[in-house]
Structure formats: structure tokens, C-alpha cells
Amino acid sequence: MAFTFRGRTLERIGVIGSGQIGPDIALYFAKTLASSGVTIVVVDISEAALAKGRAKFEKKIDKGVEAKAFKQAEAEAMKAAVQWSSDYASLSGAMFVVEAATESAAIKAKIFAQLEQVCAPDAILASNSSHLEPEVIGAGLTHKNRSLVVHYFFPAERNYMVEIVPGADTDPRVAVWVRDFYERIGKVPVCVKSRYGYALDPVFEGLFLAAALCVEQGLGTTKEVDAVAVKALGLGVGPFTAMNLTGGNAITGPGLAKEGEKIMPWFRTPQILKDALANGTAWEVPARGEKIEVPAERKLAITAQLQGAFLGLCDEILSAGLISLADFEMAIEMGLVMKGPARLANELGLKEALALATNYATSNPGFAQPHWLAQCAQSGKPIDVPVVLRKDEDGVAVLTIRRPGSLNSLDEAAFRQIGEHCRSIRDDATVKAMVLTAYGTKAFVSGADVKFLARATTPEQGMKDSRDAQSLTLLIEGLGKPVVCAMNGLAFGGGLELAMACCARVAVSGLKVLCAQPEVKLGIIPGAGGTQRLPRLIGLGRAAIFLRTGRPITSIEARDFGLVTQLCTLDELLPNAVKLARSYADGSVKVQPKLKGALLDVPEELPATDIGSLSKAVDAILCKAILAGARTTLADGLTIENLCFGDVCRTQDMKIGIDNFLKNGPRAEATFVHA
């Protein structure tokens, strides 16, 4: 067995280094590729390091079994898929190798020289460096065109972000393959131009430096600065805690010094870090759950310093053109687990954000003055981060919804940007058809962002949001050009409603959960046409059961019910959808007309259905929407759905359902009061 992707077959993958991150990289490969029969070989010259790395690897898998993340059989297959060796010859036949050794150009060069002796000339050789330019790492290679940097983030088996950094000699086709390969196995890769530190480490380490300077200036202790940083920047953990967790002191110390040479003079190794390195001590940080009280005046001063430094650091990266805004915002939020610069700037107000970055630059010699923020503030409009991307393929516009951190859920920006792109495509004479898809391998669209739904605290707001969502589906449905939905994963709620507005749907085969209208579990009903289009696509009786219970539909069921036009593998999905859209556009395949009139033989009431502990009050409103809408046209049915959505917003159960989701997550059942 093997894993074949875009013309490259992987039977073996190599990981060099069994220290801090190598076993975690191997673990992710095992999770995603063991089922395809791929062997992962971890090589380290130290037998002790191999034993320690293997113990760490197996402990994490065992914990995964305890947490029910893996079944026992899966765990055993993952363990069996990984070989631990001190012999580089064991990498013979590996077509992709990730070096994850010490951050030393000399050591990496030696490793790459050994890899060239045992790997095929077209094997891709990647370095999990956190700083070194790919040109430096691959300087001694005979075939520089197949080398690049692949920078993972802590913890590598769970953090989905990966920086892909090609060098000057890297074959662009290799960089594209590596980027797409990582997306295919579930990571979220972003491409970054080559420069020391790439796009994220100067922010991560620069923010640590800013926090260290706050301590050195007497604004607070490491505990206090850490606590303030979490609130000021929306961090998962503070900068000092992050250093403790990642063991980052030893890398950050020299990294900051080199960034001072290669990026801007402000970067340097602060004295407290030098002392920590000399003494081998960890940072004093807040304990889990510990509440740190900081006097208001000092809290404001620390906040201003950290926000100004963060915004200025991000400004320097964007002004240097190392990465696109869309990729950078996503990378910061997912890789560093904090607010992105655009989101923070919008929340603060662009003038305030610019003032903070400018003040920090002015009061810190060697820190670059902001340029990107100045341009944004001059526009007078909030920064719009693209979350819907367009790419045209020979007359077919492909729209990709990209919000992987929330399984591509639809927030206000996503709704708006889909609409803007659709209107542009409608008016573009060079475009004959459109494909609507989403990013990654897990979800097409997991539904409307629940935080977005939570704002519907009144019937009037709920009806407005429903009308806006319905308008988008009507825009897609009436685009005047064929629109095919490529369902790359599950489609829930608003995602299924978007898909049903398209003239055809192509989906991934073999999914036990492909689509659902699970709104009733939140104490609401579909508001973007689900109560009207689903009965017209799969029949009233069948649709009513799925709408009232929220039960998911498998790939096979979706095809058999007529909800999905075609099933295929994930790798075939987009090409097949584009081909189908093009066939509709040139008339070689006829678009199946949609039923927009009333349904026949609509009963007076729906058959009794076991809805379990779901809200009876919401169910009554839902049944009204289904039945009344089925007796009239689609257009009038949408109006009925909209009115019913307003009625749901009057119920106690809607508030209970939304609050339960936000507090306890999607798996916790709400305790409805049926009112």
C-alpha cells in the first residue's frame, strides 16, 4: 500500500530528529497516513534520543485512546507504522523527508548531505527550521530545486498551521505540491517568502521581547505581564508561558539577536532572557486557573506596549510583502493562537491601532514605523480580510470558503464576500460557470457561526438575518450561470442551504456524515431556505424527518435521495465539479430544472416523529414552516420560513439552545423547556 497524491507516490516518509518536535511530526504523519500503508521512519544518531522520542510518541497515542480520540486498533496501526532507526540507510525509498534537528546551519547541512546519498534525486527534502533561510540550509545540496522549509508549530501533532518557505532555487512545482499535500492531510499550510524567521517567528519572538522589556522597565512581573498579554491580545497563553511550554528560550535567544541583524535593530536578546539561559531556569508564570490582579494604571501601560509592539511587528511583515493578509491573519490566529492584526486593529479602531504602533516605534529605537496600518487608517474603512477566495479556471470561477479554524462556518464576512464574488461573476462575461467549494478535507461548511446566530436576540434581528441569508441563496440560484457545489466534507445548516441553492452538488464518497440540518439541536429552525428546498429535492416526508430530528445524511443516502448529483474521491472532487460546471455551461449536459412550485399531496399534518429531548415548541414552528411552504411556491415558502424564524426567536428554547452551544460545545444536549 501507499499514498499517491498529484503524481507522487509515498511508501515511506522520513523524519530526522527524535528530540523536541520530531516525534510529534511523526505522530501526525502516522495519524493521517498509517491507514494508507505509509511507513514513517524516524532517524536519530542517538539511541537514547530514539528511545525517549518513541516513548513520548507512544504515550501520546495511549492518551488519545483514553480520550477516545483513537480506537485501539487505530492506535496499534499508528505505532506499527513508525520505525525508529539510527541508520540513514533506512530512509532509502523515502520520497519525502522532514528534517527536524537542532537549529544549526552546520548540523542541517550535514544531515542534508547524508540524505542526498540515500534518497532519490527527486525526493523532496524539507527542513522544519524555525528561522534559517532555505537557501542557507540547502546551500550544499546538489539538487537544490527539491528542498524547502516546512515550519511546524507547537504542538506539531495538533497545531494545524504550517509555513511553507521555498528558497530561490526551489522548483515552484515542488512548493505547490508540498502546500497541497499538507492541505490534503489536514494541515493548514501558508506560503511565505524566504527571509530569516519567515512570517510568524518574528511576531512570536518579538512579542516575547516586548513582554520582557515591560518586565525590565518595571511595568510588571513575568506573571503580571503574562496575564495582561492574554487579555490584551486574545492569546491562548501568555508569552512567558509559551516559552516554558515550547522550551523556546534556547532558540529564541540567538533568534532575537539574528533578527536584529536581518530584520530591524530593535530585535535583541533581553537581559532577563540571557540570565534565564545562563541559569537554566523557567519563567514564573500564572498557574492554571490562578487569577492575577494588576493595578489599572500598570495594566493600561502594559496593554499599550504589547498591542503597539504586536501591531508594529505584524505591520513590518505585511509591509515587507512576505505573506498575503488573508494567509497572515489566518496563520496568526491558528499558529500562534491569538487575535490577528486586522481583527485587533478593527476592534481598537484603525486610528487608535495606528497610534499605538506609531508610539511604540517612536519610543523604541530601531523599531520600524508602520506603513500598512497607515494605509489602512487612511482608507477610513475597517480592514477586510478575505475569507472567500476566487480562482478562475478557463471560464469557470471557483469560489473557496476558507475559515478552517471553525470548519468553514459562515460569519458575516463570509456571507458578504460570497455575495460580492457572486455579483462579480454574474457580471463577468468571461465567466461561463461557477463552482462553490471550501477549504480543507473535513468540512464544506459546518453551518452559520453560532456567535453570528447569537446576535438574533429579537424577532426583528432574526428575520433580518434570515432574509439576508435567503437573499444569498437566491443570488446563487438565479445567477444566470450554472453553479456546482463541490462538497469537500460535511455540510451542516447554512452550508447545506448554500449547496441546495446550486444547480448540482458533487460530494466526497464514503462519508458517514455528509450533510444535515441540525438547527433544531440549537433550538432554532433553518433560515436560509432549508425548510423549503430540502422537501423539494428529496421529498416532503423524508425531508421532514431530517429537518425535525437533525439526523445526518450519509454520502450514499444523499446520492440515492437525489440530493447529490455525483460522488467521487476527494482528489477527484474539484476537477469533476469544474468539468460538470463547464458541461452545463456549453450545453453538453442539461441542468435539471428545480421544483419551485407547490408540492403535491401535502398532508394536513406531518406524521408523528420521535424528536427525543428536542424542543416541542420549536418543532411546532418548524412543522408549520414545512407544511405551509410546501403548499405554495418556493418564493412564498421562503417568506413563510422567514416569519417562522422570527417566531422561533421569541422562544425561550432558542436562547437555551444557543447558550448551551456557546458554553458547552456542540455535543452537549440542551435542556429545553418547550416554550
* Farthest CA pair distance, the chain: 82
Query: Which backbone phi and psi does 490 adopt, to 5 degrees?
Result: -65, 145
CA dist list (Å): 170 to 163, 199, 284, 563, 599: 15, 18, 43, 44, 59
- Measuring CA to CA, how many Å separate 112 from each of 100, 107, 119, 290? 11, 9, 10, 46
- Least Cα distance to 504 among 586, 567, 431 occurs for 567
Q: State yes or no: is 497 an active-site residue.
A: yes
Where would I find the beta strands (DSSP E) of 459-560? 483-487, 490-492, 504-508, 515-516
The x, y and z cell numbers of residue 18, run together, are 527524535
Q: Do the Cβ atoms of 523 and 471 come closer than 8 Å?
A: no
First-to-last alpha carbon distance for the chain, in angstroms, is 56
E strand or H helix that includes residue 437: strand 433-438
Tell me which residue of 100, 156, 166, 182 sits closest to 134, measured CA to CA: 166
How many H-runs (helices) and E-runs (strands) does the chain carry? 27, 19
Question: Residues 421, 399: contact at Cβ < 8 Å?
Answer: yes
Specify which residues 165 forms β-bridges with.
Answer: 149
Distance CA 18, CA 589 (A): 55
- Residue 306 CB coordination number (10 Å): 27
CA distances from 120 to 88, 123, 438 (A): 13, 5, 35
What are the φ and ψ backbone dihedral angles of 210, each rounded to 5 degrees? Answer: -60, -40
Q: Is the preceding omega at residue 386 within 30 degrees of 0, hence cis?
A: no
CA distance 517 to 641: 14
Catalytic-role residue among 519, 557, 641, 669: 519
- In 3D space, the residue among 205, 195, 208, 207 whose CA is nearest the CA of residue 163 turns out to be 195
Q: Give CA separation, 648 vs 412, 461, 528, 630, in Å.
A: 21, 12, 14, 19
Q: 524: how many CB neighbours lie within 10 A of its CB? A: 27
Radius of gyration of the CA atoms of the chain, in A: 27
What number of other Cβ atoms are within 10 A of residue 442's Cβ?
A: 14
Q: Which of 250, 248, 244 is nearest to 223 (CA)?
A: 244
Please give the Cα distance from 626 to 622 (Å, whole number).
Answer: 6
Cell matching residue 89: 540507510
Task: Say whether 103 is catalytic.
Answer: no
Question: Of the listed 133, 205, 497, 641, which one is catalytic?
Answer: 497
What's 553's DSSP letter?
A: B
Q: Give the residue ranges of DSSP H helices in 587-651.
A: 616-630, 634-648
Q: Are 318 and 273 within 8 A, CB to CB?
A: no
As annotated, the active-site residues are 497, 519
